[in-house]
Amino acid sequence: MRDRSARGLAAPPPGGQWEWEPLPAVLTGHAARCPDRPALSFVDYSRDPDGTWRTLTFAEVDQRARALAAALESRFVRGARVALLCPQGLEYGLGFLACLYAGMIAVPLFPPEDSRRIAQLTAVLADADPVCLLTDSRHADSCQDLTHRPVEVWPVDEAEPHLAPHWSQYRADPAEPAYLQYTSGSTGHPRGAVITHQNLVASTRQVIDGCGLSSDTPVASWLPLFHDMGLSIGVLAPILAGAHLALMSPLAFAQRPLRWLRLLDAHRAHFSGAPNFAYDLCVRRIPETDRDGLDLSSVRVLTNGAEPVRTGTLHRFTEAFAAGGLAPDTLKPSYGLAEATVLVACNRIGQRWTELRLDTEALAAGHVRVLNDHQAPPRLTTVVGCGRPVGQDVRVADPETRVEQPPGTVGELWVRGPNTANGYWRQPQDCAQLFDQVLKTSDGFENGWLRTGDLGFLHDGELFVLGRIKDVIIINGANHTPGDIEDTVGRAIPEAVPGAVAAFAVPGGDGEGDRLVVLVELAAGPRHAQDIGLRRRVMAAVGEHHGVRPHDILALRRGSLPRTTSGKLRRGDCRDRYLTDRFAPAAPTDTRTTP
């Protein structure tokens, strides 16, 4: 029997089903009903350490989006791709909205500010083949040479407001592409999920329902707008709900995490979100003396997503800021992916996250055996739930046979709903493998499923995510998720850079299975590996908690591990670099164990 409780369909508004309207129509409605209501604010810390606010009302946002849309319509054919290379700020949101108004396909990206990411940027631009690059005056010149052919570069901040009446009042069809959301994992093979106007509105409604948003719930965010979660929190959800957004830059947060929490306080924000590392950064970098006076009582939802959620992080952050009025159920572990537009599951308001103590050996065999407080097996694993699905269906399938699995069984997570994309831009082979899949159930065959590539299970209707299937480490026939091993090593080695441990498998010799390799960034540098007994301590911790023996343990300098644009470890790249001996400087090679 399938787990019917996993459907978790969102309740419609009091009037019944949501009525379809494209986002521009919703925004023009807000502008007509409450023109002077604040819509988008950007807090700039580049000149004033306390931040300088720029705010646009709904009428101003609508006018500027219409003006830029009219200019786009006059120059390019409807359905053309328009890339967004604006820095974090109001211009980014205006540029994205203008593309929707004009019926262009937006491509959210980032300005060419970091030389290490130019290759990724040019690869995505080559794949999307845009007709225009939208940026700001400061970055216009640096955008000129990013494409393989001449492409017009338009500064959003130079758009002429008097063009607004010339907008065609174009109304998109639900099935038309709205934007391409490029996944962050690969620079050599970029994949842009085609998000339709229906996907956009459906997913944003799910965020609004799941997080309890309305016009009276202010939103704050520092997440990069080119990322799916950042775009949802930083543009889509506030605009659709009619809420006032206060935006800041990722750099301003990284320089001083306290700025984010002070913004939540000053804006009386109801909703914000961040990856797991950001909550740990707040705990580490905000001393207790700076926490005095913070009032976080207005905050009801802080989503924790975009990377694995750690139970220790949830407890540390909640305890650290409880004195500031942060409710114990505010932190909301969640799960989503670009191919589902953004959100799949989250914990609702008033619900505290769920933790399960599992038998590690059973979990390695693909079975969920929940332990009570009195049971103490040789090894246990604690996992945190990501809440219930919001407005969509989630099942667990055997990745090989594509047969739905019963509750309590680990498998691949499959998703189906109005928010799921139909495929990747110009990638028919990848589309055929992941989108519109057929699931074999006890009732027959069901079409229209998205394969996520993520490993997890359902328990009492709640979703638990264990990691990427391609990253699973198989040793002696047992499956081990790298995130669990990395968490174990991180707890055992406080000298490691937080969140900077990578575990992956490399092929063994003839007749052998996988071998486990662990890479650790040390805050003091790899030369201290022997001084702190890194090899001995990692071997002991991994052996005790997972019953496996690492083949190799390397210490690296801070920043050595390759990551995606959203900060996730690229374990495949870690493996490739390790096998080609491209990690340096590293701990002495005597860390390698004998087979």
Bridge partners of 395, per DSSP, are 414
Percent of residues in the chain assigned helix, strand, coil, to nearest 5: 35, 25, 40
**565 or 522, which is more confident:** 522
3-state secondary structure of 567: coil
Asked if residues 124 and 192 have their Cβ atoms less than 8 Å apart, the reply is: yes
What are the two backbone dihedrals, phi and then psi, of residue 297, each rounded to the nearest 5 degrees? Answer: -70, -20
With cut-offs at 50, 70 and 90, classify the pLDDT of residue 10.
very low
Q: DSSP assignment, residue 26?
A: H
C-alpha separations of 559 from 476, 521, 522 in Å: 32, 7, 10
Q: What are phi and psi of 128, to 5 degrees?
A: -75, -30
Report how far residue 515's alpha carbon sits from residue 548's, in angstroms, rounded to the nearest whole number. Answer: 9
The pLDDT of residue 197 is: 97
For residue 87, how many other CB atoms are within 10 A of its CB? 17
Say if CB 95 and CB 104 are below 8 A apart: no
pLDDT at 159: 86
Q: Compute how many other C-beta atoms are within 10 angstroms of the C-beta atom of residue 528.
A: 14
**Considering only CA atoms, which of 204, 245, 274 is closest in space to residue 89?**
245
Instruction: State the CATH architecture for 275-471.
Output: 3-Layer(aba) Sandwich (3.40)
pLDDT in tens, 155-165: 999 889 899 99
Residue 515, phi then psi, degrees to nearest 5: -115, 140
> What pLDDT shows up at residue 595?
32
Return phi, psi of residue 403, to 5°: -100, 135
| Integer Cα distance of 127 and 148 in angstroms | 11
CA dist., res. 126 & res. 147, Å (int): 7
In terms of CATH architecture, what is 24-274? 3-Layer(aba) Sandwich (3.40)
pLDDT-derived band at 483, boundaries 50, 70, 90: confident
Order across the sheet with 52-57: list the strands.
Answer: 52-57, 38-44, 245-247, 219-221, 271-274, 301-304, 331-336, 343-346, 388-389
Per-residue confidence band for 305, with pLDDT thresholds at 50, 70 and 90: confident
CA distance 495 to 174: 52
Q: What's the pLDDT at 166?
A: 95
* Most confident region among 193-207, 307-321, 468-482, 574-588 by mean pLDDT: 193-207
Query: Counting Cβ atoms within 10 Å, is residue 413 exposed (0-12), middle (13-18) or buried (19+)?
Result: buried
Q: What is the dihedral of CA 294, 300, 306, 310, to 10 degrees?
A: 70
| C-alpha to C-alpha distance for 184 and 566, rounded to whole angstroms | 7
Average pLDDT, the chain: 89
pLDDT at res. 374: 76
pLDDT in tens, 230-246: 999 999 999 999 999 99
Helical H segments across 250-340, by residue range:
250-255, 258-266, 276-285, 288-291, 311-320
For residue 189, pLDDT beyond 80: no
Q: Which of 1-10, 104-113, 586-595 has the highest mean pLDDT?
A: 104-113
Express each pLDDT in 21-44 by its tens digit. 999 999 999 999 999 999 999 999
Q: Are 505 and 468 in contact (CB under 8 A)?
A: no
- Cα four-point dihedral sign 282, 285, 286, 287: positive
Which pLDDT score is estimated for 432? 87
pLDDT at 188 over 80: no
- pLDDT of 219 reads 98
Q: What pLDDT does 544 receive?
A: 87
The least confident of 111-115, 278-282, 509-513 is 509-513
Q: What is the DSSP string of 362-411?
A: HHHTTB--B--TT---S-EEEEE---EESSSEEEEE-TTT-BBPPTTB-E
Question: pLDDT tens for residues 403-415?
Answer: 999 988 999 999 9
Rounded to 5 degrees, what are φ and ψ at 497?
A: -65, 130
- pLDDT for position 236: 97
How sure is the predictor about 258, in pLDDT bands with cuts at 50, 70 and 90? very high
For residue 309, pLDDT over 50 is answered with yes
Domain locations along the chain: 24-274, 275-471, 472-591
Residue 449 has pLDDT above 70, yes or no: yes
> CA dist 197 to 71, 227, 364, Å?
21, 18, 41
Position with higher pLDDT, 90 vs 376? 90
Least confident of 8-17, 71-80, 185-194, 274-283: 8-17
Question: What is the distance between the alpha carbons of residues 213 and 236, in angstroms, rounded to a whole number?
Answer: 12
Q: Rounded to the nearest 10 degrees, what angle do helices 90-102 and 23-33 cross at? A: 110
Residue 211: the pLDDT is 95
Strand partners, 74: none
pLDDT value of residue 511 = 55
pLDDT at 1: 33
**pLDDT computed for residue 114 by the predictor:** 84
**Can you give the pLDDT at residue 53?**
96
Q: Is the pLDDT of residue 594 over 50?
A: no
The DSSP secondary-structure symbol of 562 reads: -
The stretch 258-275 carries a mean pLDDT of 96
pLDDT higher than 80, residue 11: no
Q: Is 350 exposed, middle or buried (0-12, 13-18, 19+ CB in 10 A)?
A: exposed
pLDDT of residue 589: 36
Distances from the Cα of 239 to the Cαs of 22, 23, 249, 267, 358, in angstroms? 12, 8, 19, 16, 41
Confidence of residue 223 (pLDDT cuts 50, 70, 90): very high
**Structure-token match 């592409």, residue found:** 177
Q: Do domains 275-471 and 472-591 have the same CATH topology?
A: no
Residue 286 is predicted with a pLDDT of 95
C-alpha span between 92 and 104 (Å, rounded): 15
- Is the Cα torsion angle 341, 347, 350, 352 positive or negative in sign? negative
Question: What's the pLDDT score for residue 499?
Answer: 85
Q: Give me the percent of the chain exceeding a pLDDT of 90.
A: 66
Distance CA 220, CA 271 (A): 7
Instruction: Look up residue 529 and give its two tokens.
Output: 């590996």
Residue 6 reports pLDDT greater than 50: no
Specify the pLDDT at position 580: 82
Query: If residue 81 lies in a helix (H) or strand (E), which one and from where to where?
Result: strand 81-84
Residue 439 pLDDT more than 90?
Answer: yes
Residues 545, 485: Cα–Cα separation, whole Å: 8
Does the pLDDT value for residue 512 go beyond 70?
no
472-591 folds as GMP Synthetase; Chain A, domain 3 (3.30.300)
Q: Which of 274, 207, 235 is nearest to 567 (CA)?
A: 274
CB contact set of 14 (below 8 Å; sequence gap of 6+): none
pLDDT range class, residue 510, cuts 50, 70, 90: low
Name the more confident of 361 and 125: 125
What residues contact 50, with CB distance under 8 A and at least 6 apart? none
pLDDT at 513: 67
pLDDT at 546 over 90: no
The pLDDT value recorded for residue 509 is: 64
**Residue whose C-alpha is closest to residue 499's, from 301, 342, 275, 334:** 275
What is the rounded average pLDDT of the residues 583-589?
55
Confidence of residue 584 (pLDDT cuts 50, 70, 90): low
The answer, yes or no, to whether residue 108 has pLDDT greater than 50, is yes
